Structure 1
Amino acid sequence: MSAAKIVGALVASGVVAYICDTTISDVKIFGGTTPSTITNKEWQEETDKRLQAWPRTAGPPVVMNPISRQNFIVKSRVEE
Structure 2
Amino acid sequence: MSRATYIIGALAGSAVVAYVCDKVISDNKLFGGTTPGTVSNKEWWAATEEKFQAWPRVAGPPVVMNPISRQNFIVKSRPE
For CA contacts below 8 A with separation 6 or more, give which structure has more relative contact order: 1
Aligned partner of 2:37 in structure 1 is 36
- Answer with 1 or 2: which has the greater Rg: 2
Could you list the structure 1 runs, at least 4 aligned residues long, displaced by more than 3 angstroms after superposition. Answer: none
RMSD: 1.3
Q: Quote the sequence identity (%).
A: 56
Which string of whole-angstrom CA distances, capped at 9 and with x for unpartnered residues, describes residues 5-44 of structure 1? 1111001100111011111111110111111111212211
Please give the TM-score of this superposition, normalised by the length of structure 2: 0.66
Unaligned 5+ runs, structure 1:
60-80
Aligned residue pairs total: 59
Please give the TM-score of this superposition, normalised by the length of structure 1: 0.66
Q: Does structure 1 residue 20 correspond to structure 2 residue 24?
A: no
